[in-house]
A and B are shown apart, each in its own frame.
Chain A
């Protein structure tokens, strides 16, 4: 039998243990690889120091053996810097577009009669029931030159010739907007839905038109949802690999894709690991902002 205190301790320890095993340990491995240099071997990098046996024996020696070259290369080889910037740009602009797309949807959902709201939420998350990969493949057949979209536009006479959409950045934007929509809609919806109608009435009573009431009351109160939604879209979109790989073309430069190429095409594990570590560092700032926003919301309650 456990004492009460023990049980509580175990409950607290579970998530930490989980994080340790499935996040921290793999991350340390990646970190280690990033400080190694490439070898034509199995695994394809050295030094392959054994943490358990060697650490104390000659730490200093090993530290000297660490290779910072991979990190230096991130700055010297322009492909990396460009990939990072392009990823941030694509993720940033699609997050913004998503906000404009999702806000009216979430607003409409929150204003809908209470009885149908669960159905609307259901419809937003319905696409999750199909594999993400399959849905992206479906977009290939929609966007390709002989695809649904082009044939529709041609048959409607809007364009004469099929357009090149697939394998362009446009397709990447479409893919991101489509895939991440629920991540933006749901936090916005939850912020808008819990808002008290009488606040809007009070604003109108005090002299606001419908429009002014929206800007002075509804929107400010939904800002936590806006922040949450933006980061939930932005953070994964920066490292997105599948969408640029399948929908994008040679012009599409995203860090996830670059990393993949480094890893599988060039078999340069150390460089790929350095890219991954750098990506994490880049995303640290938005993640911290996101966390502090969540914490502030908790406090308000």
Chain B
């Protein structure tokens, strides 16, 4: 496989951990009210130069509203937005070093693809030759060379989306805001475009803020992800940390698949936690950081791929274990997900990688099985 199809290699990049680095975008306690409705509720966030930042959250949680405040289409009801050291209050959109790709594309219907892409460059009064070259480059990037002279209404949804993307990138702004840039593309084209975007971002040193519904997209592309809910950030972390160390049930549930087992903390000694759970009918040992103290209600969160499934009980009776009956098996191609009805009435899921093309599975419907996991494979959440 060529390096191209693997995509660019991401460098180690973590300016948010470095107190001396200066953020490019500072969002300080920003609130946006529409009448009595609060769309964005007192959020603070720093985004650093060359960062690829993703906003993830359910529909209506305020992602677009936050982007629109960055682009200058809405003024915050309270708080401050600073871009490149300059307070953006009262600065109109055309004077901000920011370009936005609209969720609705907002292509100019009276201009063809080429003209749409050239629009921002013409406003910047670039020389004609340079505009033409830049437009060609953009058309190539989004694979629309043959469509240069079509009007937007003659394009498919995915093609329109790519024109909108090309138009926003063409100006090479310091900050590019992308509101669901790849939602209408098929899987293969989306993955290709993702890599192209990453490539471009590294080449041009732009900062990307991207809104997406697709968590895989956020996971593969972003340096950091902010999970939003009801106008607030629930957690801001790099993808791996978000996945392995979710801070709340909401995040754990939102990102990927997870088992949440309710229980009561009986002991927490510097990360050595024991939990009594009615779901498994026993004690769960966890090695994880948590503020939960003895007596607190808490949830043990375990990713399905971290649970082992077996027909035999574990050798060591101290091992974390739950017993139940296989209720359903979901075949997803690369993995199979086993839904297990626990004896105590709850349920858990375990996923197994399908490493060989076995047709006969050793474990099948109605089998009595043991689910086991190591103490460091899950986390304890209190909210």
B240 sits at the interface (CB 8 A) = no
Q: Does B109 contact A (CB under 8 A)?
A: yes
Q: How many contacts between A and B, using CB within 8 angstroms? A: 61
Among all A-B residue pairs, the 6 with the closest Cβ atoms: A207-B123, A206-B120, A202-B106, A198-B106, A204-B93, A220-B110
Is the CB of A221 closer than 8 A to any CB of chain B?
Answer: yes
Q: Which of B71, B94, B104, B107 has the most CB of A within 10 A?
A: B94
* A201-B102, A203-B119, A206-B167 as given contacts; A217 in contact with B108, CB under 8 Å: yes
B56 within 8 A of A: no
CB contact under 8 A between A221 and B119, given known A198-B104, A201-B93, A201-B102: no
Are B99 and A206 in touch, CB under 8 angstroms? Answer: yes
Query: Which A residues are CB-close (under 8 A) to B123?
Result: 206-208, 212
Are A201 and B109 closer than 8 Å at their CB atoms? no
Which residues of chain A come closer than 8 Å to B128, judged between CB atoms? none
- B153, CB-defined interface residue at 8 Å: yes
Identify which of residues 77-101 in chain B touch chain A, using a CB-to-CB cut-off of 8 Å: 92-94, 98-100
Q: Is A199 an interface position by the 8 A CB rule?
A: yes
In the complex formed, the residue of A with least CB distance to B164 is A202
| Docked CA distance A113–B120 (Å) | 29
A82 interfacial contact with B, CB 8 Å: no
Which residues of chain A (174-192) have a CB below 8 Å from chain B?
none
Known: A202-B100, A206-B167. 17 other contacts (CB 8 A): A196-B106, A199-B106, A201-B106, A202-B102, A202-B107, A205-B72, A205-B98, A206-B99, A207-B123, A207-B124, A208-B94, A208-B123, A209-B94, A217-B110, A221-B108, A221-B109, A301-B153
Residues of A within 8 Å of B73, CB to CB, are: 201, 204-205
In the bound complex, how far is the Cα of B338 from the Cα of A270, in angstroms?
A: 95
- Closest CB-CB distance, A270 to chain B, in whole Å? 49
Within 138-170 of A, Cβ neighbours of B (below 8 Å) are at none
Name B132-159 residues within 8 Å CB distance of A: 153
Write the chain A residue with the least CB distance to B124.
A207
A196→B102 CA distance, assembly (Å) = 12
A68: min CB distance to chain B, Å = 48
Chain A residues whose C-beta falls within 8 Å of the C-beta of B98 in the assembled complex: 205
**Known contacts A221-B109, A221-B110, A300-B109: does B94 contact A207 (CB below 8 Å)?**
yes
Q: Once the chains are docked, how many angstroms separate the CA of A24 from the CA of B107? A: 45
**Interface size (A, Cβ < 8 Å)?**
19
Inter-chain CA distance A148–B329, complex, in Å, is 88
B residues near A (Cβ < 8 Å) are 71-73, 92-94, 98-100, 102, 104, 106-110, 119-120, 123-124, 153, 167, 171
In whole angstroms, how far apart are the Cα atoms of A221 and B106 in the complex?
13
A209 to B94, CA, bound (A): 7
Contact among B100, B107, B109, B153 for A205, CB-based, below 8 A? B100
A202–B73 Cα distance when bound, in Å, is: 10
Q: How far is the CA of A203 from the CA of B98 in the complex (A)?
A: 13
Q: Which residues of B contact A301 (CB under 8 A)?
A: 153
For residue A299, which residue of chain B has the nearest CB? B153
User: Chain A residue with minimal CB distance to B170?
Assistant: A206
Closest Cβ–Cβ distance, residue B173 to chain A (whole Å): 9
Are A205 and B124 closer than 8 Å at their CB atoms? no
Question: Which of chain B's residues have a CB closer than 8 A to the CB of A300?
Answer: 109, 153
**Bound CA–CA A196/B109 (angstroms):** 10
**Chain A residues near B124 (CB, 8 Å)?**
207
Question: Which A residue sits closest to B125, measured CB to CB?
Answer: A207
Task: Given A220-B110, A221-B109, A300-B109, verify A205-B93 contact (CB < 8 Å).
Answer: yes
Chain A residues closer than 8 Å to B99, beta-carbon distance: 205-206
Show 16 residue pairs from A and B whose CB-CB distance is below 8 angstroms, ordered by the A residue.
A196-B104, A199-B108, A199-B109, A202-B100, A202-B107, A205-B93, A205-B98, A206-B94, A206-B120, A206-B123, A206-B167, A206-B171, A208-B123, A217-B110, A221-B108, A300-B109
Nearest CB to that of B171 among chain A residues? A206
Identity of the chain A residue whose Cβ is nearest the Cβ of B154 in the assembled complex: A300
- Inter-subunit contact A204/B92 (CB<8 Å): yes
Q: Are B153 and A202 in contact (CB under 8 A)?
A: no
CB of A216, distance to nearest CB on chain B (Å): 8
Q: How far is the CA of A204 from the CA of B95 in the complex (A)?
A: 9
Q: How far is the CA of A217 from the CA of B102 in the complex (A)?
A: 16
Closest to B73 in A: A201
Q: Convert A73-114 into 0s and 1s, putting 1 for each residue whose CB lies closer than 8 angstroms to a CB of B.
A: 000000000000000000000000000000000000000000
Judging by beta carbons under 8 Å apart, are A204 and B94 in contact?
A: yes
Question: 8 Å CB contacts to B: which residues of A210-254?
Answer: 212, 216-217, 220-221
Instruction: Report the nearest B residue to A195, measured CB to CB.
Output: B109
| A contact residues around B153 at 8 Å (CB) | 300-301
Query: In the assembled complex, which residues on chain A have CB atoms less than 8 Å from the CB atom of B92?
Result: 204, 209
Residue of B nearest to A198 (CB): B106
- Evaluate whether A205 and B104 lie within 8 angstroms (CB atoms) in the complex, with A221-B109, A300-B153 already known: no
